[in-house]
Copies of this chain bind each other. A is one copy, B any other.
Amino acid sequence: MKNIKIVAPRTLSGFMELAPRKQVQFDAIQAVMRDTFLLYGFTPLDTPLLESSEVLLAKGGGETDKQMYRFVRGEHDLALRFDLTVPLAKYVAANCERLAFPFRRFQFGKVYRGERAQRGRFREFYQADIDVVGDGDLGAINEAEIPGVIYKCFTALGLNRFVIRINNRKALSGLLEVFGLSKRAAEIMRALDKLEKIGADKTRELLTDALGVPAAAADELLSLLTRRGDALAALSVYSGKSATLDRGVSELGEVARYLGAFGVPETHFEIDLSVARGLDYYTGAVYETRLLDHPEIGSICSGGRYDDLASHFTDKKRLPGVGVSIGLTRLFYVLNEQGYLNKEMLTAPADVLIIPMTDDLSGAVSLATTAREAGIRVMIYGEDRKFKAKLAYADKLGIPFTVFLGEDEISSGKITVKDMATGEQTTASPAILCEGIREKLHSLRAVAPVSEKTGI
């Protein structure tokens, strides 16, 4: 035998690589999101992972710049994308004469950020983005539809204990205007963004000591920002004092008004004036989504309304839009850690394992072909192993049904299927058996990928 140098089969740190049955759960979650996005008229998009660095950095970066996987190849300065928004901006700018607006797209894709590796942080991770991009203007109804998509998406996954927090950047800017704080608006918003994390007292300190906000204004602001349930009503006393605030309040009101018709119950959203979303980029509605039982995780789906998607790629069109992003890899990691991945879900690679007991495998193959034609996922175990090993294989993979196929079964045309969960055995013709298996699979396949009942 040749002397082969053995290289350690290692995966880079910060790069998720799942065990097969976890991968099935990951894919199921992605499929539910995809199906939801499709229901709302979003079209799939796929853009390269590798782009010219100039394109990815068109907007200028700071943090992003440092975290980029960037390299030179030949004459080309290339980089791996760090989000799906810049590629969308590029795509829409490049194709704006051909696209129909509003352009509604979703994209699932891996993005890359060379952050310091730590538990639960990934350098390669999936994002799931939806955006609606208008040509010149974009109807307000789109801002109300986004929480509708989020609600549908997470409930379809099997999540219920979450809340979508909605604010409006105009309302927040308008408030700062009313308090005479417009000049330091960006810094103040960044401080307010920390409210949840550091608490009201420390935020107050930050506002008064570091940013020179008068104590009375800080108190009034923080009292407004910590209100839940009646935040919009509380703003009514400022009505007429700032056109921006009035506009923001009216937009927020409109979003709230349509949410019921979009199927979002009142239990699942709240107007929260403290949602600032750091980026200067947002100009209208902003969203965050929190798991009620795991606030420490932060937002699992965030985004908002922006005024111009692609100002760095085109000056021919102004492209306002609204969108949200789900950090899918991070979400999956958290769901797994919290025991939220549904243990009832069928994660086996096949529905039926056929174990031939004859040398000639034609009978097994024909049976497999019949069952596959009926939409049943079949594996033929063609290995020369002991009986026990064959059963252990089905067990380890969690395959729900097994068929032992010997001479008798083949000659009589009567096959016996064993339900591995109940031990129940059924003997019948292949056609009848397939019908029975399909029926049982129907309920097995209907199981949602996520379950909040971690106790069982």
Contact = CB atoms under 8 A, between A and B. Distances in A.
B378 A15 contact: no
Interface residues of A, number: 107
B15 A48 contact: yes
Contact of A19 (B23, B98, B110): B98
A47 B365 contact: no
Interface stretch (A234-242, A309-317, A401-409, A433-441): A309-317
A383 B139 contact: yes
Contacts of A257: 362
A302 to B, nearest CB: 23
Interface in A86-104: 89-91, 93-95, 98-100, 102-104
A83 interface: no
B51 A12 contact: yes
Contact of A91 (B17, B58, B134, B148): B17
Nearest to A106: B349
Which residue of A9, A94, A138, A314 has the most chain B CB atoms within 10 A of its CB atom? Answer: A9
A337 interface: no
Interface stretch (A70-78, A173-181, A185-193): A70-78
26 contacts: A4-B311, A6-B313, A6-B314, A7-B58, A8-B313, A10-B90, A10-B94, A11-B47, A11-B90, A12-B50, A12-B51, A15-B50, A20-B45, A23-B43, A40-B377, A40-B378, A43-B349, A49-B49, A49-B110, A50-B124, A69-B71, A71-B73, A100-B397, A152-B372, A258-B365, A262-B369
Given A15-B48, A139-B383, 9 more contacts: A10-B55, A10-B94, A17-B48, A26-B46, A141-B365, A152-B372, A258-B365, A261-B362, A261-B369
Interface of A: 4-12, 15-21, 23-24, 26-27, 38-52, 54-55, 58, 69, 71-74, 76, 78, 80, 89-91, 93-95, 98-100, 102-105, 110, 112, 114, 124, 134, 137-142, 144-145, 148, 152, 257-258, 261-263, 310-315, 349-350, 361-362, 365-366, 368-369, 372-373, 375-380, 382-384, 393, 396-397
CB-based closest 10 A-B pairs: A139-B382, A41-B379, A71-B71, A141-B382, A43-B349, A261-B365, A41-B350, A7-B58, A9-B313, A9-B93
